[in-house]
Each structure stands twice: as structure tokens, then as C-alpha cells.
Structure 1
Amino acid sequence: MITYRHRRVVFGVTSSPFHLVATINHHLDNCSEPLKATAAKLKKSFYVDNCVTSVESEEELNKFISESKKVMLDGKFDLRGWISSPILVDKNVENTSILGVIWNVKNDTLQCNVNFNNVEQKLTKRTLLSVAQRVFDPIGFTCPTTIIPKKILQATWCKKLTWDQELPEDLAKEFRKWIEQAYAINDCVIPRRLTSVSIQECENSLHVFSDASKDAYSACIFLRSKQGDDINLSLVLARSRVTPVNKITIPRQELIAATLACRLSVTAIESLALPNCAVYYWSDSSVVITWIMCEGPWSVFVSNRVKEIRNLSPTSAWRHVPGHLNPADLPSRGINPKGLLESRWWEGPEWLRLDEGHWPVANFALNSSEADLERKKTVTVAMHVEEESFLDRFTYFSSYIKLVRMICWMLRFKKKSTSKELTYEEFEYAENILIRLVQKRCINSLVNDRNIQTFVDENDILRLNTKLSLGNENYNFKFPVILPGSDPIVRRLVECRHIELKHAGAQTLLNNLRQKFWIIGVRNLVRNIIHRCIRCKRFKAKRCQAPTGVLPNERMEASTAFQHSGADLAGPLTLRSGAKAWIVLFTCATYRAVHLEVVESLSTGTST
């Protein structure tokens, strides 16, 4: 048997891109030591099977090409099709596609290549989605104009239009106006290089701007590079997004924009890898800066985003910029393609080309009044917490008998007794302990009652001193134990007696309890227990009364006697002869007359 091993990646399989990237990364991680630097740069620069990177000089370019070929050739990868600018490797190539963007090699510029010629005449939501996704712009320099079809698309969702339903006249007119100028997007050209000189030799700073309007919010990042008296500005990243369908306040939208700006700044800082690069964050919302600067129990919406902003950026780096000087204002409002081409907003604001002393300083003060609208509402509740007493743990048992038996077993465990059955003496002793604990907890309410006289017996149990002390009755009857009716353990005692007496009435239960106990408020307690007893409720329920039946016509119409009659048999009777006989009872249905006959057999006679 011959076993074959497949050693090629099949094109078109879902897992093929992962296999390719994993294989390339594994090969670059195991590269030889002299080529480690080139392998690390290759690993960071590969996107599927394309390598995109930048070098500082022609010597570094030639070295990178030769070493890259050598590194990848060890893994049987053939790197070819090299294109560079401004040093041309292949002078016959003028324009090439790099990750979906057109790169003019001779001019070293980037631009989009969008074709809007085949747009359908019938404008629907499906058409809008198709057009809105045709512009591929990873940098975001066209986002001020590409936000317009997205806003129109959101309006169709708000109007709940179907995918193939024709747009209303106002939305169709707005979209046609934009599509007529869409060709200008291809004329928007930006330089590929962020600086005209080596970026490592410049004094660099990143400026992150954010802004929001009622329909969209945006964020953009500019790199300011200063070398001597020369200052260069370049757009690094920009994003604009439509606001949520469920409209929120402008300050909240400004906060969302600030959060987006912080996330973009993390991406830009990691990608550029510039050492000692200062980062400035700009916003024209005084409310957002107040939320970021000040501590406070903000609402959940504000608190979550402020927490993320503080984790991604220092609070001291946030500054206020007037709205008309904020470059993020254009992507948040939107502009037609011709206006975008004329604005050249990707070149950055002019005031950033000045020294820091000439940067705009607005008369800014923390806006606490509007910021406090998002302060979390706090409710102060005063609670009186009582410590749990040891006696409260006994309420775990719903039965009074089980409660006393549990105390018996606790006392037996203390004595280390080996007997398996509880005696009456043990049960009585445990009950006295429980009574003393209940009386001790409510001693003030029992003693302060001036209408009764009490004393403490030899078992330290509080009893009532009655007028029956000279009688021959039982000691518990003459001197009953005083108990509070409000205690939950006493309630379990009354419930137990109610069940033992087979759900007797209130007066019977009272008489039984007073044989041994004098419970304060016992009458109301007994009534409440009987009222809540399910079985007592069932027996007290009234039986259902059936309505009186309607008399038939035979009982009401005038007729002769026995015209309508009924028959029945009574017996048997024993005659003197010893034979059996039966009485036939004939009843008139109209007059209730009765006729009796005697028969000696129950069989039906035969007719001759």
C-alpha cells in the first residue's frame, strides 16, 4: 500500500487563507538569526499573499528585496512582482491596485477607483446599499461624502421600505444629486507618504479630532511632522458613521464620537510605531470634556464610554477646539463629492501648521450644568437592621412538636446519652427551656402589664397569680404560664393545639389553651389561625343549592284519577302460609291518590 500526502493548499477552500497565513508565520518565526529583522518586517507586512511595507532609502530597498527573496525561498515561496515608488523597479507600471486602492507609482499617490455607470434607473433600498458599498476607502479620506448615501439608506429603514420598493421622491432626488457628482471621488488624490522626509528625523505629534451632528458622528487623525521650520500635515485615519436609529442627545453623540476617536488613535499608534510621539485629543463639546475631566457617578451610558476613553487616553491630553476649526466637522455633516474635492480637507487645518502658541484656545469652562443631566440618580434609604437572636433560628421548624424534640436531642447530645427514645420528662424539660427563652425575649411587655400579677416559679418560668390558688385544680390551671401572643414560636404552639383538637372551633381551642397557658392577645391569635387554616375553610364552605325542578304537564293538567300514574313494588312480605307476597303501589301523578294491590309473584303473566 502506498500512502500519499497532500502538500499543497487547495485554492478556494474556506480554510485556505488561514493555512497560508499560518504556514508563512511559522516559516518566518523559524528564520535564521542573520535574517531575523527582515523576517519580522515581512511578518508584519503580509496581507494574505501580498506584502506592503515602507523603507527609508534605496539601499534599504535593495537589501530588503534580496533578503526577503532569500527568506521566502527557504520555504519554497517565490516573491516576485516588486513595485516601489518613487524609485521605480518596473518603469512600465504606472497604476497598480494595493489592497483595493489605486496606487500611482510615478506620482506616489493614492486614490479610489469607483464606477457608478451601471446604477439602475429604479432607485430602491437595494440600489442604495449597492452604491454605498462600492467605495472602498480604508484610510477614510472620502468619508465626508460617502456618509451621504448611508444617511439616505438609514432614512429608508426609518420609513420601513422593502428592498425593492421605489424610493420616495425626496430621497430619490437627494440621491440622484449625489450620484451625478460621484465621479469626483476618483479625482480625490492624496500622497502616499506621510512626510516628505524621513519620519524618524521629525518631531511628530498625532492630533485626534471628533465631532457629531444630528445625523452622523466622525473622528479623524492627522500626523503633524516638524523638521526645522517645515511643518507637514497628513491624514492618517478617518471614520464617519450614521447615528443610531433611536435618536439620542447631541452630547451623547459627541461622547460616542470621542470614543471612536480613542479607538482609532490606538490603531494609528500601533501601526506607525513612532517613539516619543505626543498625542492630542480635540473636541468642540464642552460637555464631553467635562465628563472626561470630572469624577462623578454618571449614568451607565456615559460612565461606560468615559471609562473606555480614560483607559485609552490620558485626560490631560484632551483639549477644546471651536467648532468651525474642527476638521472632523466636515465628515460629521457630510458634503457632496465636488465640495469634497474643493475642500481638500485631508490636508488638515491650517492652524496646525503654526507653532503651538498660535493654536486656537477657546474661552472654555467646564459645562457642569448640562453634564449634570447625565449624573446618576442616587436614592438614600435608611434601614434599621436588628441583630438576629439565637431564638430566631428555632423558627426554621414549622411544627411546635418538632421544635421541642429538636431541643431534646440537643440536650441529649450534650449529655452523650445512648437511649433511642425520648421520655416525657425530657420533653417537658425541653419545653420549659423554650418557654424561658420566649419569656426572656419579651419580658418587658409581659411584666409591664399592670392588670395582672405575676411571679416566678422554681423553674424560672413567669406565671400568672390568679384567685384560684386555694383550689384543688391542677397547678398549671391555677397558675398558667404567661406567653406573648406576637411571638412566632407561640403561634406555632397554638397551631399545634388546633391540629391536635382536630380543627376545633375558637372557643374550644381557647379553653384548651387556658388549661396551661395565659397568652396575651390569644383571642385574635386563635381567630387568625383558624381563618388561615385551609381545612377549616373547606369545611365552612356552603354546599351548592340545586334549583327547584319544573313540574311536567301531567302534574298540572286536569284529568281523571290515575290517568297519569306511576307504579312501584314494596316487599317482600311473608304470608301466614309461608309464601312471599309483594305490594304494588300505584300513584296518581295529578291528584296524588294511592292504590295498593297484593301480588304473589314478580313474573309477568301470560295472556290466553
Structure 2
Amino acid sequence: MQQFYMDDFMQTYSSEGEARRSAEEIKTVLHTGGFNLTKFLINKPAALENLMEEDKAEMKAQRILGQPWNPKTDKLMFAKPKFLYTGQQMTQRKVLSIAASLFDPDGLISPFAIRIRCILQRIIKEGRNWYQPVSECYLQELQEWMDELDSMTPIQIPRCLIPNTNETHQLHTFTDASMSGIAAIVYVRTTNADGSCISQYVISKTKVAPIKQLSVPKLELEAATLGAEQDENGARNYLIKTSQNEFVSGTISTLLKGSNREKGDNLMPFTPFLDDIGLLRVGGRLNKAPLTYSAKHPLVLHIRSRIARLLIEKAHHDCGYQGLEHVKAHLQQTFLMIGLRKALRSLGKYCFICGRWRADNVRPKMADLPEFRFPVVNKQYPFVNTGMDMFGPFYIEDRREGTQMQYVCLFKCLVTRAVH
């Protein structure tokens, strides 16, 4: 059910046979509930050969959650908005409407789209009313921008970024900033078995620089943060999936076969399953618990994987270098790592900050005791050499005089240790 958005179903399959079985099963299951799922569309038409023709969509470009997709070429495209400027009065509100009409989730035209947002920011700085006409100096610039958009050639990118999981993949993020805006772009670099490399576009984002002017170094930091935000989720899921394919591939293969039992598989008691993006998660009986999805179904990670070690180090830092149990509880809200306690003990031994906290206090060497501390040498009576301390006040209730403030003076013999 997680692959449904309203009445649309979307899923990716690794083979035509898997797609064919899924299409037949989904249609049968929904039909039992009185729902007739139609308009099936796939980039491999042979996978739908068992369906009736009236259940198939025409093999042409369609919108998938607003994003145009060409099934023949299996590419995503940018759809130009349908607005027409016929010389009507251009106001600040109209410019905002034009800028907001660009639906470009993948950032295919982000270098072009940021231009109108920069123009809008300059208009806002003038302090005009939303319904007042913009200055003449912007009209020609806006008209040129819309003419360029109207004559823009179609832009397409491959939908599938990682066709083969056996290849080596890297994510590369580039960021830049100027006084006008900041930008970040992500590519995936694939190394094939023969050593050849292919780089493909993933996503890009742009932002207009804040109205409050910042220095270029600060803007470049903002751009780096933007790039990290674009890279984090995709890289995290990709690294987790790669790790699972390397260390728990047997469990994944068992689940793909439709079985939930495999002799010698230590993960089967946790009732694992594959989520909608193919990540291995823990099942269990917490579906009705008031918890987040990640807490109810943690991701499975092998403790020897690189990403597991990085996540442990990050959690150790985020938890303020607290104790083992605290960091363990923090990680178990999202991940199942068998052998986590042992890994945390090992991390604590080599952590520089933890080593400083565990270090023994330096005990300075004490000076020799003075002669007056030895009664045999001086043959003195008690309290000849005396130490004194005073503390208070204490409030004491007296029947005759009421509340009184009292102090305590403590005398201590330095030879016999007697106290008065």
C-alpha cells in the first residue's frame, strides 16, 4: 500500500517477470474489493502482455506525480508551464505567480529558474505594493526571460540511475555561491566492470541569496549546506542498500523468493521485510504503537559495514559522548545492528574525548609534614599548634529571645587531631 499515492500506483522492478507477476496480483487483489485498476504503463510493454488492452494506457508521455515521463525512452522531462503574457499590467503578484508556476522537482532548469526569483527579490526590495505595477526597468528583462522559456528545447534525463547493483557507484556533489544566489548539483558516477565510467545527473537546487547581505564565504557555507541536504538522504539510502546487498544478501534473496524461513539465517526471528524502496527492515508487533515508522521497523545493518561504523561515530558525537547504553538506545530507534554493544565498547577505547574523560586525575606530590606535627620532637601539649575553621550562620529558636543567629568555630589540634 505504500506504493499508492491517491489512486495511482508506482513501483520499480528488477525484471520483466517480477513486474508481470506484480501487475496481475495487484489487479486481482483490488478487484476483490471492487476496485478496477487500469491505465497500466511500463517502459517494457512485454511485462503487461497478460493484461487486457483496455487495462493498458497509451504508450506515450504521461505525468507521474506531475513529472512528465516518456515510457518509450524511460526518461523524465521538464514540462513548461501554460501561462500567457499578453501585455497585461505586470505587478509584483504576477511575477510571483509566474515564478511559482515552474514545477521542476529535479532541478532540470534551476540555472534558468533562479533568474526570475532574483528579479522578484529586486522588485520586493523596492517596497512596492503587491498590486502596483513594477518599474519599467524590469519589464524588458521579464519579457526576455519568458521568451527564452517559450523557445526552450525539451530537457530529458534517464529515470534509472543505477541499472546494475554489481557496479561501483559514487555520489559527487558540487556547490557554488555568489552575491545573487547559491546552488548545488549532484551526479552519480558509475564504474563498470571493464573500468569505464559514466556520470549521470541526479538533482540540483538553487536559492536566492538572503536580502540581508552576507559575505561570499558565508554564502558558500550556505551552498555547502544545501548540497549536503541534497546528498544526505539519497546517499544514506544508497549506502544502506549497498551494505545490505553485501552483508545480508542471503536474507534479501530469501524474501524475494517469497519465503520467510531459511536455515541458519539469524535475522529470520526478527521477521524482516523489504520496504517500498527495497531496504531491509525489522518486522515485529509494533504496528499499532504510537511510534515513528523507523522506530517500529528499524533498518538492518551489519556491524562490520562502513556505514554502520560511520553511523555509530555520529551517534556517539550527537549524544554528547555519553555512556554506552545511552548511545545504544539512540541508535536502536532507527537501526538494528547485531553486535552493537561490542562495537560501542571498541569505539569508546579509541575515542580521544572519551579517553580524556576517563583519564585519572593527576595527584600532585605532597610536601613533607612540618616539625610541629610531631609531638615526640617538640614535646608539646595538645592545642599548642591549632587549626581553626568557622562556618554558619545557623538560625536557632530560643524560647526567651526568639530566633538567634549562631556560628560554629572549630578548633583542631595539629598534633593529636583532637577537636574542640
TM-score by length of 1: 0.39
Q: Is 1:50–2:8 an aligned residue pair? A: yes
Structure 1 residue 271: Cα displacement = 5.6
Q: Is 1:62–2:28 an aligned residue pair? A: no
User: What are the superposed Cα offsets for residues 422-444 of structure 1, whole Å, 9 maximum, x if unpaired?
Assistant: 34xx67xx98x86xx59x89xxx
For 1:106, give the aligned amino acid: K
1:178-577 map, 5 Å: 178-185=145-152, 187-195=154-162, 198-227=163-192, 228-269=194-235, 272=238, 274-276=241-243, 390-391=391-392, 393=393, 407-409=396-398, 422-423=399-400
Match of 1:132 among 87, 99, 115: 99
Percent same amino acid at aligned positions? Answer: 25
Q: Distance in 1 between matches of 2:195 and 2:396?
A: 94
Q: Is the 8 A contact 2:41 2:57 kept in 1?
A: no
Structure 1 residue 270: Cα displacement = 5.2
Match of 2:137 among 170, 176, 190: 170
Structure 1 residue 62: Cα displacement = 0.8
Distance of aligned partners of 1:117 and 1:260 in 2 relative to their CA distance in 1, 3 Å threshold: closer
Indicate the SS of the match to 2:242. coil
Q: Is the 8 A contact 1:209 1:261 kept in 2?
A: yes
Q: Distance in 1 between matches of 2:111 and 2:207?
A: 10
Residue 85 (structure 1) aligns with: 43
Structure 1 residue 49: Cα displacement = 2.0
Q: Distance in 1 between matches of 2:157 and 2:84?
A: 27
Distance of aligned partners of 1:221 and 1:167 in 2 relative to their CA distance in 1, 3 Å threshold: same
Q: Higher helix fraction: Structure 1 or Structure 2?
A: 1
Q: Distance in 2 between matches of 1:76 and 1:162?
A: 54
Residue 412 (structure 1) aligns with: none
User: Which protein shows a greater Rg?
Assistant: 1
Indicate the SS of the match to 2:130. coil
For 2:93, give the aligned amino acid: R
Q: State the superposition RMSD in angstroms.
A: 3.2
Indicate the SS of the match to 1:61. helix
For 2:158, give the aligned amino acid: P
Structure 1 residue 183: Cα displacement = 2.0
Q: Distance in 1 between matches of 2:170 and 2:91?
A: 45
For 1:84, give the aligned amino acid: I
Q: Is the 8 A contact 2:40 2:57 kept in 1?
A: no
Residue 156 (structure 1) aligns with: 123
Q: Is the 8 A contact 1:116 1:183 kept in 2?
A: no
Distance of aligned partners of 1:136 and 1:270 in 2 relative to their CA distance in 1, 3 Å threshold: farther
Distance of aligned partners of 1:74 and 1:311 in 2 relative to their CA distance in 1, 3 Å threshold: farther
Q: Distance in 1 between matches of 2:79 and 2:59?
A: 17
User: What are the superposed Cα offsets for residues 175-196 of structure 1, whole Å, 9 maximum, x if unpaired?
Assistant: 221111102446112222225x
Residue 553 (structure 1) aligns with: none
Distance of aligned partners of 1:184 and 1:55 in 2 relative to their CA distance in 1, 3 Å threshold: farther
Structure 1 residue 240: Cα displacement = 0.8
Structure 1 residue 125: Cα displacement = 1.0
For 2:235, give the aligned amino acid: I
Unaligned runs of 5+ in 1: 1-23, 25-42, 278-309, 315-387, 395-405, 410-421, 442-608
After TM superposition, what 4+ stretches of structure 1 lie above 6 angstroms from structure 2? none
Q: Distance in 1 between matches of 2:37 and 2:183?
A: 39
Distance of aligned partners of 1:266 and 1:77 in 2 relative to their CA distance in 1, 3 Å threshold: farther
Q: Distance in 2 between matches of 1:252 and 1:199?
A: 40
Q: Is the 8 A contact 1:112 1:188 kept in 2?
A: yes
Structure 1 residue 150: Cα displacement = 0.9
How many aligned positions are there? Answer: 259
Q: Is the 8 A contact 1:116 1:179 kept in 2?
A: no
Distance of aligned partners of 1:389 and 1:275 in 2 relative to their CA distance in 1, 3 Å threshold: farther
For 1:113, give the aligned amino acid: A
Unaligned runs of 5+ in 2: 49-55, 245-312, 318-388, 411-420
Q: Distance in 2 between matches of 1:185 and 1:161?
A: 31
Distance of aligned partners of 1:185 and 1:102 in 2 relative to their CA distance in 1, 3 Å threshold: farther
Distance of aligned partners of 1:271 and 1:95 in 2 relative to their CA distance in 1, 3 Å threshold: farther
Q: Distance in 2 between matches of 1:108 and 1:267?
A: 24
Indicate the SS of the match to 2:127. coil
Indicate the SS of the match to 1:234. strand
Q: Distance in 1 between matches of 2:100 and 2:152?
A: 14
Q: Distance in 2 between matches of 1:247 and 1:60?
A: 54
For 2:234, give the aligned amino acid: A
Q: Is the 8 A contact 1:85 1:106 kept in 2?
A: yes
For 2:80, give the aligned amino acid: V
For 1:213, give the aligned amino acid: S
Distance of aligned partners of 1:240 and 1:105 in 2 relative to their CA distance in 1, 3 Å threshold: same
Q: Distance in 2 between matches of 1:67 and 1:203?
A: 34
Q: Is the 8 A contact 1:132 1:150 kept in 2?
A: yes
Indicate the SS of the match to 1:269. helix
